[in-house]
Amino acid sequence: MHLAYPTVVAALLFSVGVYGVLARRNAILVLMSVELMLNAVNLNLVTFDMRFRDRLHGGQVLTLFTIVIAAAEVGLGLAIVLLVYRNRRMVDVDRLRELAESDEEPESEPGTEPGAEPVEEAAP
């Protein structure tokens, strides 16, 4: 197979991933776009490894490392997205620029956990 075909597909995948990172506002779609870019890199690594016929298969070994890093990135990224959604009730990346808490009044009374039942004090 000619070397140009997989590299063109990888370039298209990488371009779609860059567009997704720059244009999307949803954090989950941004994570998916990062995965597309990593898959484009993996495709190039395997393509050039097969082209140069390395005895140690360095491109394929680096691809395995990239897959492991991508799996860890997805796990941490989704955990962060879930925590942000739990605290802010949104995952819009443009509105999450500021990491500090807002100055709005809390929904519950101070000293109580959100979602906990209020404790009634016993009458004397």
Residue with tokens 């298969």: 57
pLDDT at 118 over 60: no
- Of 28 and 94, the structure prediction assigns the larger pLDDT to 28
pLDDT at 12 over 90: yes
* Cβ partners under 8 Å of residue 112, min gap 6: 118
Q: Of the ranges 40-44, 63-67, 118-122, which one carries the lowest mean pLDDT score? A: 118-122
- Report the amino acid identity of residue 22: L
Asked if residue 36 lies in contact with residue 14, where contact means CB atoms within 8 angstroms, the answer is yes
Query: How far, CA to CA in Å, does 121 sit from each of 55, 113, 118, 124?
Result: 75, 17, 9, 9
For residue 92, list its beta bridge partners: 26
Q: What pLDDT is recorded for position 105?
A: 56
Split at pLDDT 50, 70, 90, the class of 104 is low
Split at pLDDT 50, 70, 90, the class of 17 is very high
Can you tell me whether residue 92 is helix, strand or coil?
strand
Structure pTM?
A: 0.69
Q: What pLDDT is recorded for position 113?
A: 59
Residue 27 is given by DSSP the state: H
